[in-house]
């Protein structure tokens, strides 16, 4: 693609560094900004810079937060003995949206993935292990994605804390609510039979 | 969607103002920036700001340019008597990529579209009409999209310059090169028959 302006080319290049944004999409976005009032570009740039410079991570659960201890961790109405281990802050938002979980979280910041060069030391695993060993924790729920990397990460953490006297669990895998059985993949269907729940539990909502 | 940080919420909001970027995509992009070194966010913000503040439009053809008269308009090897009228600078880039056009351009900056509140006065039509009336122009090629708005714009310009002694043409509409006839829509197929070209012209490339 040839650009008639270096400024435009630079803006398109930087925009296309974002994941899922190719050169053409980047050009469309940048030209949209050119058609809008200058303030909009200013607001966008400032919001991104402010966020990148000033955002904090909760010292306890590593969730994104504006203060040192996030709202969830500082909420005394939540069950601080129950920790849900997730990969990413998006998972925290997804679980919070269900309204089904009243414990606290621990955000790992990724999964162990040697192929991407991510080892246990790059993740927030030591703080979790320390929390379990020193704190008053009853149960740890693993809510990582069920991929090779997710399972590896679960197992790595499990090995470090198996001496401790706590319950560990993983979220249930099975057929999505509303899905047709015939279209489900066999691994999921197999697991949903293996981990069947007593019928009288199945219509309890919480 | 509930955010654990106002800074994050603001960045996601501003990002989701871009066309085709919803809240979820915006969140994914913003979290990607958080995982990258701070410099990347700085470069992106700066590139967008620089572009928005400093970009110029060519005084002759209204194409984006870093100088007062763009490279195409100041190129003496191009045919300055042949003007291709386009909607957008992306169309200039697309036509330049074909390597088939050696004239100059005129970028309207949009099409007449009463439903979006865009009238002739918001487009670069007066400068085009003036160019045709005062300049030494041989031919005007309309290369707008073949929608109601495109046709309206073509016709509006045509009416203003029909007194002048110049040739006007529109780009050919027809079946795309490599396309199967059976899948073509009937309007396009109809036009391609109506505007058929002499066979000996069809394998000339320029």
Q: For residues B202 and B195, what is the distance between their CA atoms, to the nearest angstrom? A: 12
What pLDDT does residue A196 have? 84
| Gap from B127 CA to chain A (nearest CA, Å) | 19
> For residue range A101-149, what is the model confidence (pLDDT) as tens digits?
999 999 998 999 999 899 998 899 999 999 999 888 999 999 998 889 9
What pLDDT does residue B195 have? 86
For CATH 1.10.8.420, the residue range(s) in chain B are 6-54
Nearest to residue A26, comparing CAs of B47, B171, B154, B120? B47
What pLDDT does residue A174 have? 87
Q: For residues A93 and A82, what is the distance between their CA atoms, to the nearest angstrom? A: 17
Mean pLDDT of A79-102: 91
H or E segment at B92?
Answer: helix B89-98
How far out from the chain centre does Cα A184 lie? 25
Under 8 Å between Cβ of B110 and B121: no
Secondary structure (3-state) at A67: coil
What pLDDT does residue B206 have? 52
What pLDDT does residue B169 have? 92
Under 8 Å between Cβ of A35 and B88: no
Q: Per-residue pLDDT for A206 more than 70? A: no
Q: Per-residue pLDDT for B10 more than 90? A: yes
> For residue range B63-86, what is the model confidence (pLDDT) as tens digits?
998 888 988 999 999 999 999 999
Fill in the DSSP letter of residue A113: B
| Position A15 confidence tier, pLDDT thresholds 50, 70, 90 | very high
Distances (CA, A) of A100 to A16, A95, A96, B63, B121: 38, 8, 7, 55, 57
> For residue range B20-40, what is the model confidence (pLDDT) as tens digits?
999 999 999 999 998 889 999
For CATH 3.40.1360.10, the residue range(s) in chain A are 75-171
Q: Which residue of B has its CA nearest to A20?
A: B29
Average pLDDT, rounded, for chain B: 89
Q: Do B11 and A48 touch (CB under 8 A)?
A: yes
Instruction: Give percent above pLDDT 90 in chain A.
Output: 53
Q: Could you say which of B4, B32, B44 has the minimum Cβ distance to residue A64? A: B4
What pLDDT does residue B183 have? 86
Tokens of A184: 């489900």
Which residues in chain B are closer than 8 Å to A31, comparing Cβ atoms?
88-90
> For residue range A145-179, what is the model confidence (pLDDT) as tens digits?
888 999 999 999 999 998 888 999 999 888 888 88
Q: Could you say which of A7, A29, A55 has the minimum Cβ distance to residue B34? A: A55
What pLDDT does residue A176 have? 87
Nearest to residue B54, comparing CAs of B44, B64, B62? B64
Secondary structure (3-state) at B135: coil
Q: Do B45 and A45 touch (CB under 8 A)?
A: yes
- A195, exposed or middle or buried, with CB in 10 Å at 0-12, 13-18, 19+? exposed
Distances (CA, A) of A115 to A1, A107, A110, B95: 32, 21, 13, 42
| Gap from A153 CA to chain B (nearest CA, Å) | 19
Mean pLDDT of B9-14: 94
**Region of residue A110 (left: phi > 0; alpha: psi -120 to 50; beta: else):** left
- B152, exposed or middle or buried, with CB in 10 Å at 0-12, 13-18, 19+? middle
Q: Do A19 and B30 touch (CB under 8 A)?
A: no
Mean pLDDT of B11-26: 93
CA angle B164, B167, B170 (to 5 degrees): 125
How far out from the chain centre does Cα B12 lie? 29
Secondary structure (3-state) at A137: coil
Which residues in chain B are closer than 8 Å to A43, comparing Cβ atoms?
14
Tokens of A205: 């909502």
| Gap from A194 CA to chain B (nearest CA, Å) | 34
Which CATH architecture describes the domain B6-54? Orthogonal Bundle (1.10)
Which CATH number among 3.40.1360.10, 3.30.420.10, 3.90.660.10, 3.40.30.10 corresponds to the domain A75-171?
3.40.1360.10
Q: Do A11 and B48 touch (CB under 8 A)?
A: yes
Q: Do B34 and A54 touch (CB under 8 A)?
A: no
List, in sequence order, the alpha helices (H) in B21-162. Answer: 23-35, 38-54, 89-98, 125-134, 148-161
Tokens of A163: 């001496």
Fill in the DSSP letter of residue B81: E
| Gap from B150 CA to chain A (nearest CA, Å) | 19
Longest dimension (CA), chain A: 68
| Position A5 confidence tier, pLDDT thresholds 50, 70, 90 | confident
Q: Do A51 and B7 touch (CB under 8 A)?
A: yes
What pLDDT does residue B205 have? 63
CA angle A123, B30, A20 (to 5 degrees): 95
């Amino acid at each position: 693609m040839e650009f008639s302006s270096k400024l435009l080319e630079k803006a398109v290049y930087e925009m296309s560094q974002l994941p899922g944004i190719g050169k053409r999409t980047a050009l469309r976005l940048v030209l949209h900004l050119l058609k809008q009032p200058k303030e909009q570009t200013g607001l966008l740039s400032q919001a991104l810079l402010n966020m990148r410079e000033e955002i904090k991570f909760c010292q306890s659960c590593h969730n994104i937060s504006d203060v040192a201890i996030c709202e969830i961790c500082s909420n005394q109405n939540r069950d601080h003995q129950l920790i849900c281990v997730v990969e990413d802050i998006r998972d925290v938002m997804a679980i919070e949206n269900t309204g089904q979980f009243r414990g606290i979280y621990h955000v790992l910041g990724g999964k162990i993935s040697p192929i991407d060069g991510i080892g246990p030391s790059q993740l927030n695993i030591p703080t979790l292990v320390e929390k379990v060993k020193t704190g008053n924790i009853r149960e740890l729920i693993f809510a990582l994605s069920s991929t090779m990397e997710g399972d590896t990460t679960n197992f790595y953490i499990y090995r470090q804390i198996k001496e401790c006297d706590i319950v560990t669990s993983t979220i249930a895998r099975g057929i999505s609510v509303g899905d047709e059985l015939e279209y489900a993949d066999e691994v999921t269907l197999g697991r949903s039979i293996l981990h069947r729940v007593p019928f009288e539990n199945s219509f309890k909502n919480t």
